[in-house]
Amino acid sequence: MKNKILITGGAGFIGSHIVDLFIKKGHKVVVIDNLSRGTKKNLNSKAKFYQIDLLSPRLNKVFEKEKPEIIIHEAAQVNVRASIKDPKKDARINIYGAINLFSQAAKYKVKKIIYASSGGAIYGEPKYLPVDEKHPIEPLSPYGVSKYTVELYLRYFAKMHSIPYTILRYANVYGPRQDLLGEAGVVAIFINKFLHNETPLIFGDGKQTRDFVYVGDVARANYLAYKLGVNEEINIGTGKKTSVLDIFNLLNKEFKKDIKPEFKEAVAGEVRQIILDNKKAKKVLGFTPQIDFESGLKKTIDWAKSTQK
């Protein structure tokens, strides 16, 4: 049975890929995006689009008119450094926006909510690797705090209003449509520097590691969560580590260049290393990543080059 899916942040990097997949599968999709980070060129023409902020009182009108059955909540302030600089703004967007959304979901009796949380930010500096879903929650940044706070609010609304949910804790997502000029997303930022023969900045020694998961795999995880993983928190990652220097060296290889990086002081609030255990994703959702990092990097480079034409 096909459902009407409301996707917040559906004009953004990750959200637009999720929109495309659900439309491909035959669902009706409604997109809410204030375009603060997303862009209209990412929008699927078959989606119904509302340019609106989640904090807007007009959100009720969208629910009243569209009556979505499933919500996929992707919209967020996602920059760790920005959250440290202005934690109030981070909380207003991420926490208050989510509360407004969940309130409408309860009012209009939505059948399920899928929420994009952050496995890279909520666990803090790992006590063991890979990090599973039972790892202590000790975020090092206001961004991590806000993402986990929304998880708690979602559980509250689910319990009080009988709304099933699935929380997907993403690793570091990369791929086509990631903002090349953004302040977050090291893969996209580095690719842009290489495209323009500029010197990339590496904060710290570059040996910090992340779990990089391709955006197409993340979209597929959301589609699997549409029917599976009820009332579960699930890591979405690869279980493999890649350092910032690894990315830099691969880009030199792919671009056939020998660019040298500039090293800057490490950023407070960013973890040193993180790898997500994805066994639960495989067990509950039947999810395993299909795109390895080098293949995904090549796909991202090809897309970035196409945007320069």
Instruction: Say which CATH topology domain 186-209+241-275+294-307 has.
Output: UDP-galactose 4-epimerase; domain 1 (3.90.25)
Lowest mean pLDDT among 103-117, 268-282, 287-301: 268-282
- Dihedral, CA of residue 100, residue 103, residue 105 and residue 109, to nearest 10: -170
Q: How far is CA 59 from the centre of its chain?
A: 22
Nearest of 19, 17, 22, 21 to residue 3 by alpha carbon: 22
* pLDDT digit string, tens, across residues 243-265: 999 999 999 999 999 999 999 98
Write down the pTM of the prediction.
Answer: 0.96
Residue-level pLDDT at 263: 94
More confident residue, 295 or 184: 295
Largest CA distance in the chain: 57
Residue-level pLDDT at 79: 86
Residues 6+ apart with CB under 8 A from 239: 130, 211, 275, 276, 277, 278
CA angle 303-79-122, nearest 5°? 110
How many CB atoms lie under 10 A from the CB of residue 26? 8
> Across the chain, how many H-helices and E-strands are there?
11, 13
Is 273 in contact with 244 (CB distance < 8 Å)? no
* β 201-203/232-236 pair status: unpaired
Q: Which of 50, 115, 143, 165 is catalytic?
A: 143
DSSP 18-41: HHHHHHHTT-EEEEE---SS--GG
Lowest mean pLDDT among 12-21, 52-61, 177-186, 228-237: 177-186
Q: Which helix (H) or strand (E) holds 70?
A: strand 70-73
Mean pLDDT of the chain: 96
Residue-level pLDDT at 267: 78
Instruction: Say which CATH topology domain 4-174+213-237+276-289 has.
Output: Rossmann fold (3.40.50)
Which two three-digit tokens encode residue 179? Answer: 């903002």
Residue-level pLDDT at 27: 97
Is 143 an active-site residue?
yes
Q: Give the span between the Cα atoms of 117 and 76, in whole angstroms.
A: 10
Nearest of 156, 70, 139 to residue 108 by alpha carbon: 70
Residue-level pLDDT at 251: 97
Does residue 183 have a pLDDT over 90? no
Domain ranges of the chain: 4-174+213-237+276-289, 186-209+241-275+294-307
How many CB atoms lie under 10 A from the CB of residue 2? 10
Q: How confident is the model at residue 80 (pLDDT cuts 50, 70, 90)?
A: confident
Q: Which helix (H) or strand (E) holds 8?
A: strand 4-8
Residue-level pLDDT at 70: 98
